[in-house]
């Protein structure tokens, strides 16, 4: 773990902060290149969209975190950028920017969802470096301990916070290896980004790449939550993130059925937009 890289006065710069900046930068590059390639926008459009995503992502993540724990003072805490809270508000703001700038929505959504996938992959590396969002205990050889994690992966914390089933004779201060779910997510998100990029280059119907990437990211989160150390299992064995993932899959399925009936072929639609 690397709690901080350097300090500017009393302000500590953490690996998570750096990777978050890199994630937004990668999303901007993805958006700018995608808009140029499809002929639907330019760098200014990409900048406006990434700015909206940044504001929505940070604000939405903080609001979700504060609401989850019922303490609005957490809005001022440096921790607590919850992914789905940020994603939902960012998606709403980005959709508004796309409409306001009169971009062809289906193709713009294709490009933006690819930016989400690559940004998510990079951001999870930062989570790994600071020891946040890890998984439950494992005896697999790739298990990782986080002695300075958020929180540390000690037997006492894993039992008390996440209900981990550990041997009774294991001391509370003993470090326990856990699933590095952050790296699992990085690998899966990169694979989803690669598939979406391939679909877009193959001339998939506008909007179909966005729906595929959104559905796969939701499935990825449904799967990863099986291994995550979580304290928000208010719906039986299901976490809030899994419930939101199911809702997203239902929305994607409905949009796909509607779009399949009405949307024109990709090349024709792009020609009309151009």
Work out the pLDDT band at 199, boundaries 50, 70, 90: very high
Residue 246: alpha-carbon gap to chain centroid? 15
Per-residue pLDDT band at 12 (split at 50, 70, 90): low
pLDDT tens figures, 46-93:
999 999 998 988 888 888 777 776 777 766 666 667 777 788 889 999
In the prediction, which pLDDT does 227 show?
93
CB atoms within 10 A of CB 117: 26
Q: Taking the model in full, what pTM does it have?
A: 0.86
With 60 as the cut, is the pLDDT of residue 264 above it?
no
Residue 175 three-state SS: strand
Q: If pLDDT is split at 50, 70 and 90, which confidence band does 138 have? A: very high
Residues 6+ apart with CB under 8 A from 132: 16, 79, 149, 150, 182
Predicted confidence (pLDDT) per residue in 148-174, tens digit: 888 899 999 999 989 899 998 999 999
Stretch 258-272: mean pLDDT: 59
- The pLDDT, as a whole number, for residue 237 is 75
Q: For the chain, give every domain's residue range.
A: 6-138+181-262
**CB within 8 Å of 22: residues ≥ 6 apart:** 122
CA–chain centroid gap for 135, Å, is 16
Q: What is the DSSP letter of 135?
A: B
DSSP 8-state class, residue 226? T
Residue 7 pLDDT level (bands cut at 50, 70, 90):
low
Q: Reply yes or no on whether the pLDDT at 3 is more than 70.
A: no
């Amino acid at each position: 773990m690397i709690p901080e890289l350097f300090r500017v006065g009393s302000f500590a710069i953490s690996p998570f902060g750096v990777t978050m900046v890199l994630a937004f930068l990668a999303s901007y590059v993805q958006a700018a290149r995608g808009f140029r390639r499809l002929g639907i926008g330019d760098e200014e459009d990409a900048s406006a969209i990434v700015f909206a995503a940044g504001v929505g992502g940070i604000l939405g993540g903080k609001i979700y975190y504060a609401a989850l724990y019922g303490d609005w003072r957490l809005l001022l805490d440096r921790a607590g950028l919850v992914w789905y809270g940020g994603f939902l508000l960012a998606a709403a703001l980005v959709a508004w920017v796309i409409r306001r700038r009169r971009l062809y929505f289906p193709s713009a959504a294709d490009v933006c969802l690819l930016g989400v996938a690559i940004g998510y992959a990079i951001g999870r590396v930062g989570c790994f470096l600071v020891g946040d969002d890890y998984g439950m205990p494992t005896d697999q050889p790739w298990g990782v301990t986080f002695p300075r994690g958020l929180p540390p992966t000690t037997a006492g914390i894993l039992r008390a916070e996440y209900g981990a089933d550990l041997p009774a004779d294991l001391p509370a201060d003993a470090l326990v290896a856990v699933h590095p779910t952050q790296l699992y997510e990085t690998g899966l998100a990169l694979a989803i980004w690669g598939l979406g990029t391939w679909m877009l280059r193959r001339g998939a119907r506008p909007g179909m790449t966005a729906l595929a990437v959104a559905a796969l990211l939701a499935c990825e989160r449904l799967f990863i939550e099986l291994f995550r150390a979580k304290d928000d299992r208010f719906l039986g064995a299901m976490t809030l993130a899994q419930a939101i993932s199911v809702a997203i899959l239902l929305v994607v399925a409905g949009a796909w059925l509607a779009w399949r009936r009405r949307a024109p072929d990709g090349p024709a639609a792009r020609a009309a937009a151009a």
